[in-house]
């Protein structure tokens, strides 16, 4: 809602997009910033140089869960290894 109140346009991106699909959507929409969860950032990393993205806001899955979030982030990153390097 903050994005819309600031006068910007929000376009949803499927986190399962391939690099090619993500590049097309970002270029087609003219996006200059992107919010991404760290375990889906791999496709963005592949195509970031070919887009007009100027800002990347990276978050973790457990960021909004308080103390439980620390446990969730640790399990996702260290135990299940769902976050690519």
Pick the more confident residue, 21 or 61: 21
Alpha carbons 46 and 34: distance in angstroms, whole number:
14
- How far CA 7 is from CA of 2, 10, 40, 46, 52, in Å, comes to 9, 10, 27, 29, 19
Is 85 within a domain?
Answer: no
**61: confidence class by pLDDT, cuts 50, 70, 90:** confident
Is 84 within a domain?
Answer: no
Is 7 within a domain?
Answer: yes
* Tally of domains within the chain: 1
Instruction: For residue 55, give the 3-state DSSP assignment.
Output: strand
Is 59 within a domain?
Answer: yes
Is 46 within a domain?
Answer: yes
Is 6 within a domain?
Answer: yes
What is the pLDDT, as a whole number, of residue 78?
73
The pTM assigned to this predicted structure is 0.74
Task: Summarize pLDDT for 3-48 with one digit per residue, the tens.
Answer: 889 888 888 999 889 999 999 999 999 999 999 988 888 889 999 9
Other Cβ atoms within 10 Å of 13 Cβ, number: 18
**64: confidence class by pLDDT, cuts 50, 70, 90:** confident
Range of the domain at 61: 2-79
């Amino acid at each position: 809602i903050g994005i819309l109140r600031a006068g910007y346009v929000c376009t949803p991106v499927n986190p399962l997009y391939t690099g090619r699909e993500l590049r097309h959507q970002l270029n087609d929409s003219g996006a200059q910033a992107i919010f991404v969860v760290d375990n889906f950032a791999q496709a963005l990393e592949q195509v970031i140089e070919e887009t007009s993205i100027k800002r990347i806001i990276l978050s973790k899955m457990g960021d909004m869960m308080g103390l439980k979030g620390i446990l969730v982030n640790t399990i996702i990153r260290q135990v299940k290894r769902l976050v690519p390097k």
